């Protein structure tokens, strides 16, 4: 243990449990094998070799250094994993394509969907199961399902809750506990011949969650594309209106549509429970 003002050494070899709160540590040549913690202002060394758990809260300058460390973070994961689960009487077959993406097939609707996690291109889950023994636990926690999934990024097991409008943050110490995630639905209308069809208004027949979201503002956005999805134009977003049970989802004056038609994209980050239908008033 050193609490001196500074430590100077032309050449040193140490095999110690070492903690320094000195004003500075300087060494011309040093070989250290130690659990080491330096909360000093700085540490300077010409040449050093460390084989130790190291925690340094001050700047470290080295002319030459070789570091072998255990760090937190993701590594490349090219493995393909498959899993199945049943949600709302829909049987899903999931495929985790390494770090490329995650796709799920709904055997009931016979459709493929893509799931992602925050800024990742893939869903962090790489295993899932309907755990019958978790039904009592799911009821106690209010999860609503017995679907147990494994998160390979945070090393967590958690239950899926389809009634929740947001994701819980995996780090319980994070001040923002509610994480929005987008749900994207696309549809199109066709136009034949050389006529132009006006698009006066778009209606969404839907329902909202009616949940209290505190960490972000839920909204639904409508975008449309007249070049087969190469570019999209935003028609605007509709945000949540507190204490409103009959929220009106409509967008006016969307111009003219020509052949081959228009592609519509609806993005919801936690406002809608479901979308029953989309209607267009073309006069």
Domain tally for the chain?
Answer: 3
Same domain for 277 and 212: yes
The per-residue pLDDT for 168 is 85
pLDDT at 41: 58
202 burial type by CB count under 10 A (0-12 exposed, 13-18 middle, 19+ buried): buried
pLDDT at 262: 95
- Phi first, then psi: give them for residue 136, nearest 5 degrees: -65, -40
Residue 1 pLDDT: 46
| Token digits of residue 50 | 């460390």
What per-residue confidence (pLDDT) applies to 24? 55
Last residue of a domain, one of 163, 193, 213: 163
Range of the domain at 229: 183-281
Q: Does the global pTM surpass 0.85?
A: no
C-beta separation of 233 from 225 below 8 A: yes
pLDDT at 166: 85
Q: Is residue 32 part of a domain?
A: yes
Which pLDDT value is given to residue 255? Answer: 93
pLDDT value, residue 95 = 97
Classify residue 178: in a domain, yes or no: no
Burial of 179 (0-12, 13-18, 19+ CB in 10 A): middle
Predicted pLDDT at 8: 58
**Residue at which a domain ends, from 66, 88, 117:** 66
**Cα 37 from Cα 18, distance rounded (Å):** 7
Spans of the chain, pLDDT less than 70: 1-74, 138-139, 209-212, 241-247, 283
Q: Domain for residue 52, yes or no?
A: yes
Where is the domain boundary, 41, 66, 91? 66
> For residue 16, what pLDDT is reported?
47
Cα–Cα dist 148/43, whole Å: 48
End-to-end CA distance of the chain: give it in Å, rounded: 84
- For residue range 177-205, what is the model confidence (pLDDT) as tens digits? 888 888 899 999 999 888 899 999 999 98
Of 238, 241, 249, 239, nearest in space to 277 by CA: 249
Residue 226: CATH number of its domain: 2.60.120
Residue 174 maps to a domain: no
Q: Which two tokens stand for residue 214?
A: 């505190």
Res 250: pLDDT: 92
Residue 259 lies in a domain: yes
């Amino acid at each position: 243990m050193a609490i001196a003002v500074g430590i100077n050494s032309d050449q040193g070899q140490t095999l110690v449990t070492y903690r320094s709160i000195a004003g500075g540590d300087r060494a011309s040549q040093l070989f250290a094998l130690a659990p080491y913690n330096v909360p000093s202002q700085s540490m300077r060394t010409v040449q050093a070799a460390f084989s130790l758990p190291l925690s340094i809260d001050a700047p470290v300058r080295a002319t030459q250094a070789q570091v072998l460390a255990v760090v937190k973070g993701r590594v490349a994961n090219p493995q393909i994993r498959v899993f199945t689960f049943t949600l709302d009487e829909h049987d899903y077959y999931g495929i985790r394509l390494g770090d490329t993406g995650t796709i799920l097939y709904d055997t009931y609707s016979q459709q493929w969907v893509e799931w992602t996690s925050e800024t990742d291109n893939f869903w962090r889950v790489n295993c899932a199961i309907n755990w019958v023994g978790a039904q009592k636990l799911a009821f106690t926690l209010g999860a609503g399902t017995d679907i147990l999934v494994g998160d390979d990024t945070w090393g967590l097991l958690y239950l899926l809750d389809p009634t929740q409008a947001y994701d819980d943050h995996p780090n319980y110490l994070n001040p923002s506990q509610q994480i929005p995630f987008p749900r994207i639905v696309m549809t199109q209308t066709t136009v034949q011949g050389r006529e132009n069809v006006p698009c006066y208004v778009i209606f969404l027949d839907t329902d909202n969650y009616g949940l209290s979201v505190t960490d972000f503002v839920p909204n639904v956005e409508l975008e449309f594309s007249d070049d087969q999805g190469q570019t999209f134009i935003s028609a605007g977003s509709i945000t949540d209106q507190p204490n409103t049970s009959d929220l009106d989802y409509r967008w006016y004056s969307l111009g003219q549509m020509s052949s081959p038609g228009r592609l519509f994209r609806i993005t919801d980050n936690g406002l809608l429970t479901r979308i029953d239908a989309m209607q267009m008033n073309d006069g």
